[in-house]
Structure 1
């Protein structure tokens, strides 16, 4: 019995050289006797070694008992991946896994120069890895001949369908030989995947190495409840607290990625951004900076991060709450790979704690609600890390020993230690001061000040059930209405809402500002309270200052305003240029 039972000898040798000591569950599952040469429908967690798994699985079909491939002609294997990054990652894995077999591997991915890809295909390739759209282009142009294919692998098939590649996949699979072996790998197996398997696979063996609702066992989930205005400061403190070798921060929008990456860069973090507006070259440079250590933090949207694999990723931060169970597990699955431990940290505004609790319950994760790291805790961990790093430093070589001795004589140990400490601290951004969290029952109203009278009362749509607390309501109100805390009197926390007293000198300006710009916080409104004694026709704020127009029952942001149209007797429309008349004038 060999170390990797069932693996082709050439690939087993590559695994040993790579430092593998054991196979993962999915890799073992595809090497069983009853899986050889047949179609497989495999579901496994992200980061479970699926690429190596299907590489091992197809080797007997491609090589048989031979140790190396014959001269490359038409492709024997086609691997289809949803994104450029994932396709290139698969190609890199295959290069070392099939290195001893003399396999020629070609890539065909969008965003790369098509002429070079055609040249590589014309020179012959045993294995082709690509994205659906680019592969279809090559087939249609005649530069990719699928007639000799023995194996087709669909990697992350569920993601390809989510991205709208069904038509391209069906075109490619219809063009491939009918007697091929087809392997379909998918993190989940929804109905569209089952339908795809029924159409393009022959009696596929179903393999699953995960339970339907089981999250990663190597990921620790932590949730941090923070004041809405402290969200970015909280992200900075979490990054500083863990000081992970590599981290990724997920945001909901491109604008959020742009803003947060700029904020982190200004604070001294080595950061790159990934969003849909980047070119392929910019994305490649950003990922390479993460891989070679020039950057330690990647800020990305969900779509932009699909298919990327970052080495030594120990920390995932959800700057914005995931939209559902699948997004939570998929984001978090970037860490805790291949036996490494990882942390998934969720930044939860107090106002969205109940939504977060429902999300965690639906995802079935064991979540730990943690106190937000404060400055003194971060500095204490810095001290411990510095001492551990210094203790673990290697002894100087004989070549350096003379200079070390001279430095001790010239500077003394204290001065050398001070220089070492100064150099380390120069690369550590200072932690932020945060509003401390407080249990709901401990919330106390902000009492009326003696120098405050005749205030105007406003209603805030947050109360005890939202974990409202005067300590973070006060900065929220001040920021929303462009006032200072001196302009705020008493704050009363009720069950479903809160009441805030605003100085009469600024109340009208405060109301106008809220009406024009909203609060800046999702699902939070501020309106004049009944009996507020503010004589005005303010009906409450809009959620956004951007114009919204209704069409077919939906709100369309950013659409150009359409002027009213008057219909003449001939049915033709003309722009309406005056005030609308009453019924009498229209009839007359």
Structure 2
């Protein structure tokens, strides 16, 4: 009996759902030493944490008969970082506590607050919500925490990362001191430990992760592809790996819109999830993936936490994750509950070293290669066709079927029928893209970063360059940190094509390699007048601020439009608009607090303008 210490109502619900064995985290919370105590639990994503904390707080909430008292002020509160995760947790607890007669209310941003308030006033047993919306109800005296017996902080590390510390402390201070506090987190960082120390009493530490290694059920691939081939590479990966459902992660909302449109045009049944969609739209998108109506979901990182789609077999990173934790949480959408999954990272050659550092930090071993070719996809299609169950199905004896078979075979050869079958099969499939295949061995690895003691490396084009005049200068706080990526974007060039940069009071002179000067001039002439003007200029006589150009700046890549401020994020990895989908929006902005207080100026560059997040709880 895997759930022998679980109340009968919950054990029956688990059996009805087909739970035959408990996961390590579920086993740990059912141990006698965990009964009635505060818990500090670290467990990786997809390990069954929702059922675990549902079981853990059961004995605290249920009476001797295994039932709940009449609904009133909530007995338990579950706090989750995102709307989707909160709604998913609410649904899980509904079936888990269904036989115990639980009434559960979910409170999240994007939903009608009056409806939630009516449900709270009508009485309930468990409330699940996001921090901002719960604080709103608490402030309006619609959420009564006086009878609370247990609180669960789910994905606590993510809530702190999103800046919800103030809301969490407001909620925790409003609760009875004798309640149980169950804190679940993927990692127990210093901030998590500090929070636990302040609000937990004699907490039992449970760690079901023997190390920080990623899921063993997920296989990782890193594919090199040119920036301009990113959309085609994504199409080819989706065609080669025909998972029942897949998620493609992008950094920005605009990139999500563009890619979802491309996939739809190519014949993929796809949906999108990002912060600018209403909650009902996002819920419908997730449901369409679960019921098989859609196969591909294009999403920002709002979908990286907690979303559980059983048949999700493929995760594609169209843009590099900002850090190892984001990589693991994105990838953790697949390979859940013992199922196998595949994770694919698409990396431009120029960001290979960054991808290597990211994989090394996440302790992931990946297979490196190039984007799938149409020939490889055609070979995989042939294997799938030959293995199709329909080819081995028994022939129907129905008269109409037999009549049609006779008509088809009467004047046609087996070769003709086979060719027709192949043609119909191929016509139903999205067409593969022709992309340049980049073998990992065909490019040199990026050199390691040099220390200050080693001095600066040689930068810029190794040839005489042509000069151009930019309409921004020192007065506009011009700085190579954002000038270089902006020039690459507007002029369709690379860093190594940029030579010296001389910043004057009201303008800047930039040296461009002669081999790229003409194409740079044509591309730059298409810029909007209200952005920046770029025109040919004569070589400067000297003076002004001189900086090295491309091929060596450790800067933030531009992800969007230019208004005198940088718009990229920078990784240590973030690259806004990466993956070939440029965008003026550099964040998702869902259920998030601002990561800064004031816009700060430092060294002529603006800090924080690309990291703005708006909380929409």
Q: Shorter chain as normaliser: what TM range?
A: 0.7 to 0.9
Structure 2 residues not aligned, in runs of 5+: 445-462, 467-486, 498-511, 528-533, 541-545, 551-556, 567-600, 610-617
| Residue number among 504, 512, 521 corresponding to 1:512 in the alignment | 521
Q: What residue in structure 1 maps to residue 584 of structure 2?
A: none
Residues 84 and 110 in structure 1, CA contact (< 8 A), matched pair in contact too: yes
2:430 matches 1:429: yes
Q: What residue in structure 1 maps to residue 95 of structure 2?
A: 96
| CA distance in 2: counterparts of 1:482 and 1:152, whole angstroms | 53
| CA distance in 2: counterparts of 1:362 and 1:442, whole angstroms | 23
My pick for the range that moved more, 39-48 or 415-424, is 415-424
TM-score by length of 2: 0.74
Q: How many corresponding residue pairs? A: 497
1:259-296 superposed Cα distances (whole Å, 9 cap, x missing partner): 21121121111111222222222222222222222211
1:423-452 superposed Cα distances (whole Å, 9 cap, x missing partner): 543331111112122465689xxxxxxxxx
TM-score by length of 1: 0.77
| CA distance in 2: counterparts of 1:479 and 1:136, whole angstroms | 43
Mapping 1:414-453, distance limit 5 Å: 421-438=422-439, 440=441
Distance 1:166 1:545, change over 3 A: closer
State the 1:198 CA deviation: 1.0
Residues 304 and 329 in structure 2, CA contact (< 8 A), matched pair in contact too: no
2:53 matches 1:3: no
Larger radius of gyration: 1
1:62-91 superposed Cα distances (whole Å, 9 cap, x missing partner): 124423323222221111111111111011
| CA distance in 1: counterparts of 2:395 and 2:36, whole angstroms | 56
| CA distance in 2: counterparts of 1:66 and 1:393, whole angstroms | 54
Residues 257 and 301 in structure 1, CA contact (< 8 A), matched pair in contact too: yes
Root mean square deviation of aligned Cα: 3.4
Residues 546 and 558 in structure 1, CA contact (< 8 A), matched pair in contact too: no
Q: What residue in structure 1 maps to residue 605 of structure 2?
A: 555
DSSP-derived class of the 1:46 partner = coil
Residues 173 and 200 in structure 1, CA contact (< 8 A), matched pair in contact too: yes
| CA distance in 2: counterparts of 1:321 and 1:482, whole angstroms | 21
| CA distance in 2: counterparts of 1:353 and 1:549, whole angstroms | 27
State the 1:391 CA deviation: 4.6
State the 1:16 CA deviation: 1.4
State the 1:324 CA deviation: 1.6
Mapping 1:381-392, distance limit 5 Å: 381-391=380-390
DSSP-derived class of the 2:5 partner = coil
State the 1:100 CA deviation: 1.6
Residues 230 and 434 in structure 1, CA contact (< 8 A), matched pair in contact too: yes
2:299 matches 1:300: yes
Structure 1 residues not aligned, in runs of 5+: 444-455, 460-476, 484-490, 493-498, 519-526, 528-533, 560-588
Mapping 1:105-144, distance limit 5 Å: 105-144=104-143
| CA distance in 2: counterparts of 1:429 and 1:440, whole angstroms | 30
DSSP-derived class of the 2:77 partner = strand
DSSP-derived class of the 1:411 partner = helix
1:292-320 superposed Cα distances (whole Å, 9 cap, x missing partner): 22211111111354443333111111111
Mapping 1:82-93, distance limit 5 Å: 82-93=81-92
| CA distance in 1: counterparts of 2:57 and 2:489, whole angstroms | 60
1:132-162 superposed Cα distances (whole Å, 9 cap, x missing partner): 1222222222222212111111111111111
| CA distance in 2: counterparts of 1:554 and 1:64, whole angstroms | 64
1:362-395 superposed Cα distances (whole Å, 9 cap, x missing partner): 1111111134211111011112112222357754
Mapping 1:136-535, distance limit 5 Å: 136-303=135-302, 305-391=304-390, 395=394, 401-412=398-409, 421-438=422-439, 440=441, 502=515, 509-513=518-522
| CA distance in 1: counterparts of 2:281 and 2:392, whole angstroms | 36
Distance 1:394 1:44, change over 3 A: farther
Q: What residue in structure 2 maps to residue 16 of structure 1?
A: 15
State the 1:106 CA deviation: 1.4
Q: What residue in structure 2 maps to residue 572 of structure 1?
A: none
Residues 31 and 57 in structure 1, CA contact (< 8 A), matched pair in contact too: yes
State the 1:119 CA deviation: 2.0
Residues 7 and 58 in structure 2, CA contact (< 8 A), matched pair in contact too: yes
State the 1:555 CA deviation: 2.9
Higher relative contact order (CA 8 A, sep 6+): 2
